[in-house]
Amino acid sequence: MNEKRRRIDIVLEPEYLEELEDLELGELRRRRDMAEDVEAQISYYRRLLHGRMDLLNFELRRRSGEEERTLLEALPEILASGMILGNEPNLRHIETMPPIPSKTGRRLIDRIMDDGILTQLPELSDEEIREATDRLRDVETTLSHQRRDLHSVIDSLQDEIVTRYRSGQDEATVSN
């Protein structure tokens, strides 16, 4: 596999799941771990996008009179929303947060995260805020599809690992 390509491209290539039964258990685990790591990063970026969309939507509600608080007053609540479902944080699997994309990045997520929209918020028209929200939603949709595909890859790798455990294959190396 070409190491110069992005990890997500490598993980989502059909070859990543070809002939799994021929791979050593350690390689299966390495592939699963890499797919899980990429999925955690995509989930993190999605949450960043959701936070931006939440802020923009709040500003539109405030401007329309549906909300009396200032953005600053509502900020802790806005940023905390979506971080917890049930009793556990959604991002509990991320041990080290991925770096926030830099403005020099070439990826769409890099450009979206550094678009300066939040610093320009007071000067933007309602229509410009809606357009920014639509752009964020489009990127979020793309990330959601990638995340779904990553889950399928992770499930396939995990299924092969479980099959090996159940059949007793690679018993000497089964320690994780």
Contact 62, 70 (CB under 8 A): yes
Let me know: does 84 contact 47? Beta carbons within 8 Å. Answer: no
Confidence grade of residue 83 (pLDDT, cut at 50, 70, 90): low
**Confidence (pLDDT) at 28:** 96
Lowest-pLDDT range of 11-25, 39-53, 107-121, 159-173: 107-121
85, containing H or E segment: strand 84-85
Would you state the pLDDT for residue 137?
94
pLDDT over 50 (residue 39): yes
* pLDDT more than 70, % of the chain: 74
Q: What confidence score (pLDDT) does residue 168 get?
A: 82
Contact, 48 vs 55, CB < 8 A? no
Collapsed DSSP state (helix, strand, coil) of residue 21 = helix
Give the span between the Cα atoms of 131 and 59, in whole angstroms.
Answer: 13
Per-residue pLDDT averaged across 85-112, rounded? 52
